[in-house]
Amino acid sequence: MTRAFNFSAGPAALPEAVLRQAREELLEWGSARASVMEISHRGSAFMELARESESDLRQLLDIPSSHRVLFMQGGATQHFAQIPMNLARQNQSADYVISGAWGEKAFSEAGPHVQARICASSAAGGFRDVPASTDWKRDAQAAYVHYTTNETIHGVQFHEIPDVGTVPLVADMSSDILSAPIDVSRFGIIYAGAQKNIGASGLVILIVRDDLLERSPQPIARIFKYAEHAKADSLFNTPNTFGWYLSALVFKWLKGEGGLAAMAERNRRKAELLYRTIDESGFYSNPVNATARSLMNVPFFLADAGLDQVFLKEADAENLIGLKGHRVLGGMRASIYNATPIQAVEVLVDFMREFERRHG
Amino acid sequence: MTRAFNFSAGPAALPEAVLRQAREELLEWGSARASVMEISHRGSAFMELARESESDLRQLLDIPSSHRVLFMQGGATQHFAQIPMNLARQNQSADYVISGAWGEKAFSEAGPHVQARICASSAAGGFRDVPASTDWKRDAQAAYVHYTTNETIHGVQFHEIPDVGTVPLVADMSSDILSAPIDVSRFGIIYAGAQKNIGASGLVILIVRDDLLERSPQPIARIFKYAEHAKADSLFNTPNTFGWYLSALVFKWLKGEGGLAAMAERNRRKAELLYRTIDESGFYSNPVNATARSLMNVPFFLADAGLDQVFLKEADAENLIGLKGHRVLGGMRASIYNATPIQAVEVLVDFMREFERRHG
């Protein structure tokens, strides 16, 4: 067997070099005489890994000293609920911008914990665009504004950071964090599940502005309070140590590849190649407004949906996997996160052209 | 280098055979042409792993059909808070039995979410015994009774299941689940962090009686509701897929080793050897009442605490690691979970006798 070109939306492909290193040291990590999974998270070896991984992430994203970095659990979905628990009183209002399925989910999970209010949505247009930030009907008294920078299912992405004045901006960046440089100082909270651009599922990274940690407006257990995790350097309880370790390897890999500017350039080339192939064909289509197209997730549809199964089967035979579209939209979807090499996209577009020639 | 005899309290030693298999298939799992970390949790391959792991766990623990099995995140600590959110109204009372540091923590994290009440505690005696269940001052109207079956820091363990009548019995079994057969039908909820006897940190297994799932007394987000996770077969959101996979390998390993009866016998022999060595020496001591001694965590103290550092250094030179006691008690602690082979304990007691001969 051989590893495939993997376009899974998430859990997604990891850099092969990272997997090889993890394999190499799976039974004996460093000088631990044990796996990294088998040692105390409070021992000096793991604490050093924790410190260094945060330092690498800070370098990569150029995180200012005003912001703390937390390594958490629960998936982004848990933080849909935990963010209001930490940032707002239960009867306070918070603004939600909906540009796809994940924004909708963030809004609905927040519901029991804050007066969540939709201040903008592109639902009416079928999520083929993002709501322009100038049209957001914001409440100046809102506890925060929440939006989803990239929507994996609908393949739409914000390419600029909206200006929300002094209201804290909260961004779910699960699917595009680390894909390009970003001005972290503009955000109150950035959070991301790890299973796309950071590492493996079961880890969430949360970057939070210091002053927001002290809000703590709801009577909740300490385990739910970001301030407690910050005080304990993310060791309030046993973290997902293997997941943390994998993310540390990914950060080193990103630095070795030239950092986020290099990633942004590579990601732009991959996406351009794929969208150009789609747009130039008379057979494939992507319905998203060109200015809002995602550089991470590219949904596309065959002119004849009856050929979907044939496409997937022939792609699989060419060692191209993970291309089936989300059940909400059908069709195809190629997810091309950081770990996807340009070669994978080249093989994919060659296959797409050949498939069109034979079936189009 | 070589792998050490690892007595870490947690994250703890894993079966070497499990680590070897994980290493073998880390880049290509089954016929996936990808790592198990790189594929969708909703794809057929992972769903089959999920189904089979639950089936294996059900066989091992003989879980009755009245109980659901959930694969969760957040550590046991999160569930200290989540259990009251799911089982009680906020103004309802719940009874807590405190037999060590973890029981205390469970009680304090529950506080904001239920009227938590201590119904028995062995704190006054320094947690050298467990409170006899006949002395528990229970409230017959309590939403549930919570206790900790094994305390890793103080090294005390309940060796019988207390009778609490019709009140649901909730047990934190993080450190002794799967160490011996147990009558699951006696419990409302059994829960356990994975990093001792199940697998790696970042995974929690929760076994819950069906009828308790429908209580849902507090207005909380769906992500916090056990009933939602049960409905979704633990795929409500992306689970810790690698952690789940590792636990699946551990379940297969346990079955291959003869199941929990064989484990119980092996664990009894390891503990007996260690406690006998301590009791027969005039140099080492363990203060726990003989009937409440833990078969998983064996704290012991040198007659001269000034020798602690020498002991740890010489043990390390003999390839014995993870023996430093918890900071609360000082001294030493040998954790001897399922994955610790009898040979490791034999090497440890030989070293202890030799150390006593030279320094005693």
Interface of A with B in 126-155 (CB under 8 A): none
Cβ of residue B222 closer than 8 Å to a chain A Cβ? yes
- Closest residue in B to A83 (Cα–Cα): B221
| Known catalytic membership, residue B196 | yes
Q: Is the pLDDT of residue B1 over 90?
A: no
Q: Which residue has the tokens 């929990």?
A: B260
Measured on CA atoms in the order A67, A68, A71, A73, is the torsion positive or negative? negative
Residue B51: predicted pLDDT = 98
**Residues of A in Cβ contact (< 8 Å) with B16:** 27
Cβ of residue B31 closer than 8 Å to a chain A Cβ? yes
Residue B3 lies in a domain: no
Residue B286: predicted pLDDT = 98
Segment (H or E) for B18 = helix B16-24
Residue A5 lies in a domain: no
| Known catalytic membership, residue A172 | yes
Does B80 sit within 8 Å of A11, measured CB to CB?
no
Cβ of residue A103 closer than 8 Å to a chain B Cβ? no
**Residues of B in Cβ contact (< 8 Å) with A108:** 222
Amino acid at A231: K
**Residues of A in Cβ contact (< 8 Å) with B34:** 3-4, 6, 8, 13, 321
**Could you tell me if A128 and A152 are in contact, meaning their C-beta atoms sit under 8 angstroms apart?**
no
Does A4 sit within 8 Å of B33, measured CB to CB?
yes
Model confidence pLDDT, tens digit, residues B249-308? 999 999 999 999 999 999 999 999 999 999 999 999 999 999 999 999 999 999 999 999
- Residues B249 and B270 placed together within one structural domain of the fold: no
The ipTM of this complex is 0.98
A–B interface: beta-carbon pairs under 8 A: 221
Give which of A121, A163, A165, A120 is closest to A141, Cα–Cα.
A165
**Residues of A in Cβ contact (< 8 Å) with B27:** 3, 16, 19-20, 23
Mean pLDDT, range B96-122, rounded to an integer: 97
**Could you tell me if B255 and B55 are in contact, meaning their C-beta atoms sit under 8 angstroms apart?**
no
Residue A218: predicted pLDDT = 87
Residue A217: predicted pLDDT = 79
Does B41 sit within 8 Å of A201, measured CB to CB?
yes
Does A23 sit within 8 Å of B37, measured CB to CB?
no
- Residues A227 and A342 placed together within one structural domain of the fold: no
Q: Which residue has the tokens 């880890």?
A: A203
- Residues A106 and A155 placed together within one structural domain of the fold: yes
B147 by DSSP, 3-state: which?
strand
- The number of folded domains in chain A is 2
**Residues of A in Cβ contact (< 8 Å) with B319:** 33
- Residues A194 and A149 placed together within one structural domain of the fold: yes
β partners of residue B148: B172
- Residues B322 and B245 placed together within one structural domain of the fold: no
With b for 16 or more beta-carbon neighbours within 10 A and e for fewer, the A175-185 pattern comes to: bbbbbbebebe
Q: How confident is the model at residue B355 (pLDDT cuts 50, 70, 90)?
A: very high
Give which of A78, A53, A204, A200 is closest to B243, Cα–Cα.
A200
Cβ of residue A30 closer than 8 Å to a chain B Cβ? no
Model confidence pLDDT, tens digit, residues B49-96? 999 999 999 999 999 999 999 999 999 999 999 999 999 988 899 999
The packing angle between helices B241-256 and B16-24, to 10°, is 130
Residue B46 lies in a domain: yes
Cβ burial, residue B184 (10 Å; 0-12/13-18/19+): middle
Over its length of 360 residues, how does chain A's per-residue pLDDT go in tens digits? 599 999 999 999 999 999 999 999 999 999 999 999 999 999 999 999 999 999 999 999 999 999 999 999 999 999 999 999 999 988 899 999 999 999 999 999 999 999 999 999 999 999 999 999 999 999 999 999 999 999 999 999 999 999 999 999 999 999 999 999 999 999 999 999 999 999 999 999 999 999 999 887 789 999 999 999 999 999 999 999 999 999 999 999 999 999 999 999 999 999 999 999 999 999 999 999 999 999 999 999 999 999 999 999 999 999 999 999 998 899 999 999 999 999 999 999 999 999 999 998
**Could you tell me if B7 and B320 are in contact, meaning their C-beta atoms sit under 8 angstroms apart?**
yes
- Residues A57 and A158 placed together within one structural domain of the fold: yes
Q: How far is B4 from chain A (nearest CA, A)?
A: 5
- Residues B93 and B220 placed together within one structural domain of the fold: yes
Q: Is the pLDDT of residue B216 over 80?
A: no
Does A239 sit within 8 Å of B201, measured CB to CB?
yes
For the beta carbon of residue B91, count every other beta carbon within 10 angstroms. 8
- Range of B305's domain? 259-359
Does B33 sit within 8 Å of A6, measured CB to CB?
yes
| A194 vs B215: which has the higher pLDDT | A194
- Residues A192 and A268 placed together within one structural domain of the fold: no
Mean pLDDT, range B12-27, rounded to an integer: 98
- Residues A287 and A206 placed together within one structural domain of the fold: no
Q: What is the mean pLDDT of chain B?
A: 97
| Known catalytic membership, residue A102 | yes
Interface of B with A in 314-333 (CB under 8 A): 319, 321-322
Check which CATH number belongs to the domain holding B270 and give it: 3.90.1150.10
